[in-house]
Structure 1
Amino acid sequence: MAITVRVGVGRVAAAVVLLAMAALPATAADLPPPVTTPTDPSPDHRQLAWKTCVRGPDDDTGKALDKAGAQCAGLTVPLDYAAPGGQTVSIAIARLRAADPAHRIGTLLYNMGGPADPAIESLPAVSAAMGATARRYDIVGVDPRFTGRNTPLDCGWRTETYFRSAGPDRAGFDRMTAFERGLAEQCRDRAGALLPHVSTRNAARDMDAVRAALGERRISFYGVSYGTYLGEVYTAMFPGRTDRVVLDGVHDPSRLAPWAEYGTEQVNEDALRHWAGWAAAHDRTYGLGGTADAVLATLDRIQAAAVRRPLSVGPYRVDRHVAPLFDYAVLGDDTEEGDALIAGVFRTLRQAADTGHAEPDEFLAAFLAATLTGDGSAYGSTQTAYLCADTPGPRDTEVHWRAIERTRARHPLFGPILNNVTPCSFWPPPEEQPVTTVHNDIPALMVNATGDPRVPYSEARQMHARWPASRLITVTGSYRHGVYGTDYGDACVNDTVNAFLATGRLPAADLTCAPVVSTPRSLSGSSGQVR
């Protein structure tokens, strides 16, 4: 799983960069309380009261859902499933009913990744991606606990993400160790009672509570990125309760340890070089270099300048720990518009490195605000809680330092980013073992690009090999993360997925597709999903 950075203009899903921001819930006052204590020791958790989705005059997400014909509800579930009569939380749900009830297939739930990306706001876009098949499904979006339109878990951080580079030396690593320890301590102080209950296994239990509340014996499921892991965990914990499963950007659960981004240095470098080739072809516009090597040299020069002195970008100072994140953030989109957006960011950073100061555009300013001031910190708090429950990693920070030193010579940029210490080293230990063994014989259609930098293609192949009743759609020559529902995969991917959802019949054999490079139409309409 990877680290998503949501920003005010677009969400840099630690890298899928170009996507418009969806509105957040209207106000904190409109949200349900984070935890309640029931007066009835055996409350009925299965009552759904469907109503309008709009929560207030500024709730653009609710307005879009109402316009699409959706209804919304909340489901009360246990905070701790080991104590079902204890405290509870409310899970936000939105539903589009099947427009062709005479030929209704069933209910499809979906998850957009993150972890902690909201799902509900993507309901109209998921329906559009399914085309005519959508008319035969009740399509249901569920915001996982503490995300989206649910009451957030907020650690009060002054950053939306813990993700940083360790920097070029031991002093920088020690500085980041103190930074990550401080984030964990602050979260324990402010939200410690909730942290044990934020995990993928509990999100899967919530999904099953939604299934039961909908009166469905089985549900179909679509998951992208982290959503594939959620779907895999659900099928393992609740066998026999899924019908048709689609996984896009496929996780191999056995590869999640020892920490979230372990072992992805090379695929990220490959994707970065691919992007640099695009930037070189547009050198007259962006001035980053006329060859891929020249572009990469420009990026190295930006990093070196940030090591000497933090870059001055608007009111922000971009230091040696934050500057490398931009190299990571070019990855996972692989479309013309996304490539152009991030090239503009590097043009600004190059100016800051060369002249001492540059003014950011709206996108870069939003990214820096989220990373350096805490705009949207509740999202980062919740995402971290999921990551630390699912991939807690070593408690000994020296393990991270040795990994950085081991990879630095071959991967001087990505080694210190992807192996850096995280708050998970200082997080409260998870209440249950996060490892879920997945072994399925239900029909599943998997989709993955060969150059996916977020979930390496090798993981999709390994998962496919261990899932006998599955087929794999491979998008060759592509560095995109998440293909279905965009123009990028065109009919080869989209029509194959929709035919499977419509008929329940998998393709006769695995399928290979070529990418169609175009302006992206994000399936979520708002979110880039990463690992």
Structure 2
Amino acid sequence: MTKLLLAAVLSLGGALAPQSASAIQWEKCPPDPPYPAPGEGIECGTVKVPVNWSLPGGEQIKVFVSRSKARKQKLGTLVTNPGGPGNPGATPVMMAPEEFPDEILDSFDIIGFDPRGIGRSHPIQCDDTLMTKTFTPPATQTAWNELVAHNRRLGESCRKKTGPLFDHLDTRSVARDVEAIRRALGAEKISFLGQSYGTLIGQHYAQLFPDKLDRLVLDGVVDHGLKTAAAHLLDGAQEAERVYREHLDPAQSRTVTLLFARADRGTLKHGKTTVTPYMLTVLLNQYLGTDHMEKVINSLATGKGEVPFSSSYAEIMHRAAWCQDFSVATTFAQFGKAMATARKAAPGIRYNSQSTNFVLGCQGWPAKVTNPPATPEVKGVNALIATYERDLATPKAWAGRVAARIPGAGRVVLPATGHITYRRYAVTDAQKCVHREVTGFLITGQGSGTTCGS
């Protein structure tokens, strides 16, 4: 095939069809400490995929796959991914009885996999001595330059230790790996349950292979249409402020305002720790909507009690995958302007620490954006989108935008604060409602679309 013809094929289909896939050789799963050994009906294997999907005959890696066989009459095959990016998706299926509802365990062969670069699928390797740097939004050009240089050194160490796969960790490539898994399974169609960053895998699979998709559930939705660092920072800050206003009463809000004023002056201390304004933002993002929030605020205000400070940084796979999926490279001046806009939109909490860390982690990252942001309409897919009313990790607005690109997609909203609505164990009536809606959709293909009470 000439280079010209190859380019034409890639532009039309987004990928060459996978080569003929060998059937998976299922066997006993390897130990996965600290988790218990997988039970009966759970087995593991591998699927070979090309490092670079534009060169399907080139270097190959093995993607690690797990399967929980349907306990009763099989209705179909359900491929799942729990997100991250960076979570080993084979592990939840190896613990399937603890992770999935009985109705799903009975009716589906459930397939989990460690995405490329993660877990047991050729994991990315980096210089450990460079992976400890915490993030504070740079206040000077010098600090910005140091951050960019550090990220570049870290990324180059990952490229050196990982090899060619380092430059092919984008989520569109992962979606093509899912198709290779489908072929190796011998399944005519699959259903897909994507949660958090796994929803981006599901969206790409639906765009590339809609005729191979039976049902699609997106839970805690990532919007691939965000094209700039400023867009990420603003969306994140607006959602963080919504959560802040929902969970803090007027007295607590006044206390936090005073805490920020002390932090701005450099006089907010807890024990030997001087609490910076951004450290306070990170704490609020971490504990808003939890039972620990009031205790943390009171401890900071009084100087008494423990405050569980945590480091603020971007995990290595957050950078390795996310930085190839989103165009967030920017300059110090542009970053400062975007942060000022975000702070104006979130006067109470100031910023969303996750979106800020993701953006900072990509500055200077050496890999190219191989899967740039896009907003194509997905046609001919039976989809259900589930979301919390308030979600610091994946704002509800993202779910609305993605739903608008999938004609006929159903919606299920859990009116609370959290991330990932669908789990085996449902406690509240609202959680049980989501459980019924998503399980029913996967089994019957029918979803009513609802807000699940309070």
TM class by smaller structure: 0.7 to 0.9
Deviates more, 1:143-152 or 1:44-53: 44-53
Would you say 1:402 and 2:337 are equivalent positions?
yes
Structure 1 partner of 2:245:
273
Would you say 1:189 and 2:157 are equivalent positions?
yes
Query: Does structure 2 retain, via aligned residues, the 8 Å contact 1:400–1:419?
Result: no
Structure 1 partner of 2:382:
443
Q: Which amino acid counterpart does residue 330 of structure 1 have in structure 2?
A: Y
Query: Does structure 2 retain, via aligned residues, the 8 Å contact 1:201–1:434?
Result: no
Would you say 1:93 and 2:65 are equivalent positions?
yes
Secondary structure of 1:116's aligned partner: coil
Query: Does structure 2 retain, via aligned residues, the 8 Å contact 1:162–1:180?
Result: no
Structure 2 partner of 1:77:
49
Q: Which amino acid counterpart does residue 326 of structure 1 have in structure 2?
A: L
Query: Does structure 2 retain, via aligned residues, the 8 Å contact 1:162–1:422?
Result: no
> 1:269 deviation in Å?
1.3
Out of 238, 242, 256, which is 1:296 matched to? 256
Q: Which amino acid counterpart does residue 432 of structure 1 have in structure 2?
A: T
> 1:256 deviation in Å?
5.4
Instruction: Output aligned runs, 1:30-179, within 5 Å.
Output: 46-55=22-31, 59-61=33-35, 63-64=36-37, 66-67=38-39, 69-100=41-72, 103-123=73-93, 124=95, 128-157=99-128, 164-166=135-137, 170-171=139-140, 174-179=142-147
The structure-2 alpha-carbon separation of the partners of 1:231 and 1:456, relative to structure 1 and needing over 3 Å to count, comes to: same
Describe the superposition over 1:345-364 as per-residue Cα deviations: whole angstroms up to 9, x where unpaired. 5555556xx37xx766xxx4
- Aligned residues: CA RMSD: 3.3
> 1:211 deviation in Å?
0.9
Query: Does structure 2 retain, via aligned residues, the 8 Å contact 1:129–1:494?
Result: no
The structure-2 alpha-carbon separation of the partners of 1:299 and 1:96, relative to structure 1 and needing over 3 Å to count, comes to: farther
Secondary structure of 1:445's aligned partner: strand
Would you say 1:496 and 2:432 are equivalent positions?
no
Q: How many residues align?
A: 425
Describe the superposition over 1:117-159 as per-residue Cα deviations: whole angstroms up to 9, x where unpaired. 2222222357754322321100011111122333421333557
Would you say 1:227 and 2:198 are equivalent positions?
yes
Secondary structure of 1:447's aligned partner: strand
> 1:246 deviation in Å?
0.9
Structure 2 partner of 1:25:
none
Query: Does structure 1 retain, via aligned residues, the 8 Å contact 2:223–2:398?
Result: yes
**What TM-score do the two structures reach when normalised by structure 2?**
0.82
**What TM-score do the two structures reach when normalised by structure 1?**
0.71
Structure 1 partner of 2:3:
none
Describe the superposition over 1:153-180 as per-residue Cα deviations: whole angstroms up to 9, x where unpaired. 133355768773426xx33x64255224
Structure 2 partner of 1:241:
212
Separation in 2 of the partners of 1:398 and 1:126? 51
Q: Which amino acid counterpart does residue 390 of structure 1 have in structure 2?
A: D
The structure-2 alpha-carbon separation of the partners of 1:257 and 1:499, relative to structure 1 and needing over 3 Å to count, comes to: same
Separation in 2 of the partners of 1:160 and 1:396? 23
- Give unmatched runs, 5+ long, in structure 1: 1-41, 278-289, 516-531
- Give unmatched runs, 5+ long, in structure 2: 1-17
> 1:275 deviation in Å?
3.1
Instruction: Output aligned runs, 1:130-529, within 5 Å.
Output: 130-157=101-128, 164-166=135-137, 170-171=139-140, 174-191=142-159, 193-255=164-226, 257-258=228-229, 260-277=232-249, 291-297=251-257, 299-300=259-260, 303-304=263-264, 307-308=266-267, 321-331=278-288, 334=289, 339-346=290-297, 349=300, 354=303, 364=308, 367-368=310-311, 380-411=315-346, 413-415=349-351, 417=353, 418=355, 422-430=360-368, 432-436=370-374, 437-476=376-415, 478-485=416-423, 486-488=426-428, 489-507=430-448, 510-515=449-454
Separation in 2 of the partners of 1:157 and 1:310? 31
Structure 2 partner of 1:3:
none
Secondary structure of 1:132's aligned partner: helix
Separation in 2 of the partners of 1:144 and 1:180? 27
Query: Does structure 1 retain, via aligned residues, the 8 Å contact 2:386–2:413?
Result: yes
Structure 1 partner of 2:9:
none
Query: Does structure 2 retain, via aligned residues, the 8 Å contact 1:196–1:431?
Result: no
Describe the superposition over 1:81-112 as per-residue Cα deviations: whole angstroms up to 9, x where unpaired. 22223322221111100111xx3111101111
